Amino acid sequence: MSTQDDPRQQATRRTLRRMLFVTVGMFGFGFAMVPFYNVFCDITGLNGKTADGPAQTLQESRIDSDRTVTVEFIANLNQAMPWEFRPEVNKMQVQPGKAYTVRFYAHNNSGREVVAHAVPSVAPGLAAKHFHKTECFCFTEQRFGADEGRWMPVRFMVDPELSDKHNELTLSYTFFDTGARTAAAPKGLEAVHPSTQTN
């Protein structure tokens, strides 16, 4: 009886070992794919991510005056943040190669100090690598006191290399409450109170 069970037990152990190796391999492959995916998205812009820091100084040397691109601006809040967050304008007609500035207004209605971080995204995703920002409140965390409001500028340029099939772009920001309380106050931004804000 034992001679008949031994081959079966050995076969079972081999199968279990193989399944274990496959399972471990799948987990390892999944973890390894994360950095590869991030690099791929950074190169192709497929996920709509924009650069984490400012682009080089924008030089208006190759303005495509024969073409206009519509840029739509969207402001979102995450984590049910009791804030006001909106763009100064909803849409803007821009010429590729020319630098523009748009402002976003944020107001902290939470009744407490909040440190927040804005995450940008450009759609369609393939156009993200052609959307350049030299100034943006998204580059650093922003500290807002209770009942503080602020206009925050974004200086950007659409690359003339943007494909002709992309005539409409969407720049969206989502504000997150980071839960931190120690971010440095932003420099060069106009702090305003709702009673004194102007468009």
Q: What's this model's pTM, rounded to 2 decimal places?
A: 0.65
Q: Which domain holds residue 12?
A: 1-44
Query: What are the C-alpha distances in Å from 94 to residues 54, 88, 128, 134?
Result: 20, 15, 16, 16
Quote the CA–CA distance of 111 and 83 in Å, as a whole number. 10
49 domain residue, yes or no: no
Residues 73 and 107 in one domain: yes
pLDDT tens per residue, range 118-141: 999 999 999 999 999 999 999 999
pLDDT tens per residue, range 81-90: 899 999 999 9
62 domain residue, yes or no: no
Quote the CA–CA distance of 92 and 70 in Å, as a whole number. 6
* Residue 138, φ and ψ in degrees, nearest 5: -80, -10
Quote the CA–CA distance of 100 and 133 in Å, as a whole number. 10
pLDDT band, very low/low/confident/very high, at 51 (cuts 50, 70, 90): very low
Residues 5 and 96 in one domain: no
Pick 57 or 108 by higher pLDDT: 108
